Each structure stands twice: as structure tokens, then as C-alpha cells.
């Protein structure tokens, strides 16, 4: 693709050449009009001079024709040989009876015209003619337009040379200005090229031209987001390595025990091995889910989602598990709600909330799910009678791999983190509240109107 510099130079030079062409055309037209006016005035002066000197025109010598010639300031009577009759001016004189009494051409010359300036065709050529009557005489002076145009073109050539030099000079100046004006953009490009991904630095925008300041600010915002993303990925990788190390070590140990255990103890060892594999698999699947919840990835999956149907389906899917643990899982209220969002991510949010409630509740306790519509907001609440979360720890448990002392050993510490990220992705809000029974109420508020996904920093 053509560079900005090349485009600017091409458009500037095109504009410069077109402007010079238009100016040259208009100037040539004005000069042509002025040139014709001056030359026509010269014809008038020649005619007047011929009238003043008509008495000096005598008989022509043998072998020559009389000719009146103009040397640009005065007329003098000269005699020219016949072969030189193509000189600049042709003069003719008619008497009172309309008879031609003098002609500077061997032929008759252009026909007699009325008083004033005329353009006539004679002998295959175009002539500019000036005719002036005085007393009994009529004097007519003429010149071919071809000769006049030749003289004008010689003058026009000297006008074109400074115009070409002007275009060349201005073109050089435009080139230098464009190169200098684009240096800040080149400096930004060089700054981007030298950036170390491990240590991203912001661009100083104080010395940038005002037109480029928004570009510098946008790049700084992008660098901040990239820096936060890289730091987030580093923490995720470090946490994932730490969290996976424990189940993998347990799997290795259980594998060794299975090989060494007698037949009667092998089934129990295999059960422990399965638990370790399930825990590692759960951590891996939730890490993949966190990666999928990046705004740039999840935004493409946004569509109209029926939240009420999704809530009902989640309650149905978890009912058997809740009943198995002796829990009372129920849907207290469910309004008709359609929201704009990522259906897979919202289903995962509901699964995590209900799964956490079941995981930490004891037999005989209740888990209530509520979905209400308040104006343009969907309000989802999952309440349980479990141990709850101390108020001081409610913000901390939303971070990745954070598990409290009361956490179950098979938890990954990612469930509420996935919920929080999903809520942010949908421009919603998340609150962890204490329940009246002493347990925990998780309240999620999601906007129903279509909006852009949040770009996290």
C-alpha cells in the first residue's frame, strides 16, 4: 500500500501542477489580449504615419515593389526587392474613387474594409486589418495572424520558463515540509519498534503536534492494556503452575500407590487417583474458560439470550445433585427476561453460582434462586444457608485461586473469579451479601440493553 508520505507528495504535486497550469492558461489569455491590443495599436500608428507621409510615396523603380515597414516605433519609407514581400506589415492606399493607388505587395492584397479593426481571410491566410479613411484617401494596414502568433509564442516561452522553475522550487519546498511534518509519526514508529514486551513504556506526548497527540494517547492506552494483559497472563501462568502442581503430584503419588498396593486396597487407591484427575481437569477447564472470557474473544459470541429459560434449566440440571446431598434447591421467582450477552458465559456464571452454593451447604439447608426484572436491568440472586463469607474476605475471594480456610479441598478457587469476569464482560455489577440465615447471597445485575463489551485494562 502506498505510504502516507507518497500520497501527500503526489496530491500536493498534482495540486501544484494543476494550479500552475490554470495560472499559466489564464495568464496566457490575459497576455494574448494585451499583446493583441498593443499590436493593434501599432497597426493604428502605422496607418496614421502612412497618412502623414502619403505625399512622399512616389513611383516605384523598375524591378521593385514599394513596401512600408515598421521598426516598432516609427514608420520609414523603404524599397524592398520582390522576393522579400513577406515582411511584417502590408500597407494599401485607395483613392477617392475606390481605386487602389498603392500596395506594398505585388498582388492586390487584402480587400478594402470599413473603418476600424477586422480579421479577414485572403490568399489562404488569416489577416488582422486596420482601415482608416482620411479626406480622399483610405489607408489599410494588415499583418498575418500567423506572424503575430509566432511572436506571441516566443514571448510565451519566456513566461513558461519561470513558471516551471516556480513549480520545481515549490515542489522541493513541499517535499521538505512533508518529510519534516511526518517525522513525529516516524518517531512513534521507531519508539514502538524498540519497545521491550517485558517492560512497555508510555510515549511522551508533550512534544507531539496537536494533530498526533490523540494517536499518542491511544497508543499509551493500548500499551497500558497490553502491560496489564501481560502481567495478568504472567500471574495466571504462575498461579496455574502452582495450582496444577498439587493435583499432579497427588496423581503421581496415587499412581505409585496403585502399583504397590495389594489387590484389596487397589480400588480405594484408584478412587483417590480419579479424584486427583478430576480436580486437575476441573482446574484446566476453568483456566480455559477464563481465557475464553477475554473481551476480544467473547464479544463475537454476543447475541439475544433468554435468561429466564436458562435459569430454569440450571435449577433442573442441579436438582438431582442437590437432592442427593439433602438440599432444598428451588426457584423462588423468575420473570421473563431477555438479555444481550454471551450465552455460554452466562450459563457458566449460573452453573458456578449454584455449584458453589451446593458445594458449601450442609444437608437440610436451602438454596434459593431468584430472577427479577427491574426496569432495564436483570437482577439474579442465589442465596444459601451455608457458612457464608466474612465481609472482610468478600472482595478477595473474587480473585483467581483464592481459597479461604473454610473452602473445600476439591475447590479450584476459580469459580467466583469466573463469575466476576463474566459480570464485567457484560457491563454488570456483582455483590456478595450476607443472608438472613447466616449464609451468602450473590447478587448479579446485568443491563438488558445492547452495549459494547468492556475492554479490561
Q: Measure the CA–CA gap between 357 and 327, rounded to whole angstroms.
A: 10
- Among 17-21, 54-58, 221-225, 340-344, the minimum mean pLDDT is found in 54-58
3-state SS, residue 127 = strand
Distance CA 65, CA 55 (A): 17
Look up residue 382 and give its three cell numbers.
442465589
The residues spanned by each domain of the chain are 4-152, 195-238, 298-447
243-277 pLDDT, tens digit per residue, is: 666 667 767 777 777 777 777 777 777 777 777 77
Res. 124 pLDDT band, cuts 50 70 90: confident
- Rounded CA-CA distance 302/298 in Å is 7
- Helix axis angle for 343-360 and 415-425, nearest 10°, is 150
**Which grid coordinates are listed for 216?**
499518542
Identify which of 135, 74, 142 has the alpha carbon closest to the alpha carbon of residue 103.
142
pLDDT attached to residue 413: 65
pLDDT for the residue 429? 92
For cell 513611383, name the residue: 59
- Which one-letter DSSP state was computed for residue 105? S
Contact 77, 56 (CB under 8 A): yes
Q: Could you say which of 1.10.10.10, 3.30.1330.10, 3.40.190.10, 3.30.565.10 is the CATH number of the domain covering 298-447?
A: 3.30.565.10
Q: CA–CA separation, 296 vs 312, rounded Å?
A: 29
Please tell me the total number of residues recorded for the chain in this structure.
457
Give this prediction's pTM: 0.48
How far is residue 151 CA from its own chain's centroid?
53
Cα(5)–Cα(439) distance, integer angstroms: 66
Question: Is the pLDDT reported for residue 150 higher than 70?
Answer: yes
CA nearest 313: which of 361, 371, 359, 362? Answer: 371
Confidence of residue 71 (pLDDT cuts 50, 70, 90): very low
Per-residue model confidence (pLDDT) at position 404? 61
Amino acid at each position: 500500500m502506498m505510504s502516507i508520505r507518497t500520497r501527500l507528495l503526489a496530491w500536493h504535486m498534482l495540486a501544484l501542477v494543476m494550479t500552475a497550469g490554470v495560472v499559466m492558461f489564464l495568464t496566457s489569455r490575459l497576455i494574448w489580449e494585451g499583446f493583441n491590443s498593443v499590436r493593434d495599436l501599432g497597426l493604428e500608428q502605422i496607418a496614421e504615419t502612412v497618412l502623414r507621409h502619403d505625399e512622399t510615396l512616389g513611383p516605384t523603380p523598375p524591378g521593385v515593389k514599394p513596401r512600408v515597414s515598421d521598426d516598432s516605433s516609427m514608420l520609414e519609407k523603404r524599397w524592398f526587392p520582390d522576393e522579400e514581400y513577406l515582411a511584417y506589415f502590408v500597407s494599401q492606399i485607395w483613392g477617392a474613387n475606390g481605386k487602389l493607388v498603392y500596395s506594398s505587395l505585388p498582388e492586390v492584397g487584402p480587400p478594402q474594409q470599413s473603418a476600424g479593426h477586422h480579421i479577414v481571410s485572403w490568399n489562404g491566410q488569416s489577416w488582422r486589418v486596420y482601415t482608416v479613411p482620411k479626406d480622399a484617401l483610405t489607408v489599410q494596414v494588415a499583418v498575418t495572424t500567423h506572424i503575430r502568433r509566432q511572436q506571441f509564442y516566443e514571448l510565451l516561452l519566456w513566461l513558461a520558463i519561470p513558471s516551471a522553475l516556480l513549480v520545481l522550487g515549490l515542489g522541493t519546498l513541499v517535499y521538505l515540509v512533508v518529510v519534516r511534518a511526518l517525522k513525529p509519526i516516524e518517531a512513534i514508529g521507531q519508539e514502538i519498534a524498540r519497545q521491550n514486551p517485558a517492560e512497555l513504556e508510555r510515549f511522551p506526548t508533550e512534544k507531539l503536534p496537536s494533530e498526533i497527540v490523540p494517536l499518542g494517547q491511544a497508543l499509551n492506552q493500548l500499551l497500558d492494556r497490553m502491560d496489564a494483559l501481560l502481567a495478568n497472563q504472567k500471574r495466571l501462568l504462575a498461579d496455574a503452575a502452582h495450582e496444577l502442581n498439587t493435583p499432579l503430584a497427588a496423581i503421581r503419588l496415587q499412581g505409585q500407590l496403585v502399583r504397590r498396593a495389594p489387590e484389596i486396597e487397589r480400588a480405594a487407591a484408584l478412587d483417590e487417583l480419579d479424584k486427583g484427575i478430576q480436580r486437575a481437569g476441573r482446574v484446566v477447564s476453568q483456566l480455559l474458560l477464563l481465557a475464553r472470557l477475554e473481551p476480544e474473544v467473547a464479544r463475537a459470541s454476543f447475541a439475544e439470550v433468554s435468561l429466564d429459560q436458562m435459569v430454569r434449566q440450571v435449577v433442573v440440571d442441579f436438582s438431582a445433585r442437590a437432592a442427593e446431598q439433602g438440599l432444598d434447591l428451588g426457584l423462588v421467582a423468575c420473570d421473563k427476561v431477555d438479555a444481550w450477552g454471551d450465552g455460554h458465559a452466562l450459563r457458566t456464571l449460573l452453573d458456578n453460582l449454584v455449584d458453589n452454593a451446593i458445594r458449601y451447604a450442609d444437608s437440610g439447608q436451602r438454596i434459593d434462586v431468584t430472577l427479577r426484572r427491574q426496569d432495564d436491568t436483570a437482577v439474579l440472586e442465589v442465596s444459601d444457608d451455608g457458612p457464608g463469607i466474612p465481609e472482610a474476605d468478600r472482595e478477595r475471594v473474587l480473585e483467581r485461586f483464592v481459597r479461604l480456610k473454610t473452602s473445600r479441598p476439591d475447590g479450584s478457587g476459580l469459580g467466583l473469579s469466573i463469575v466476576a469476569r463474566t459480570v464485567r464482560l457484560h457491563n454488570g455489577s456483582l455483590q456478595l451479601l450476607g443472608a438472613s440465615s447466616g449464609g451468602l447471597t450473590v447478587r448479579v445485575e446485568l443491563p438488558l440493553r445492547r452495549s459494547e463489551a468492556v475492554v479490561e485494562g
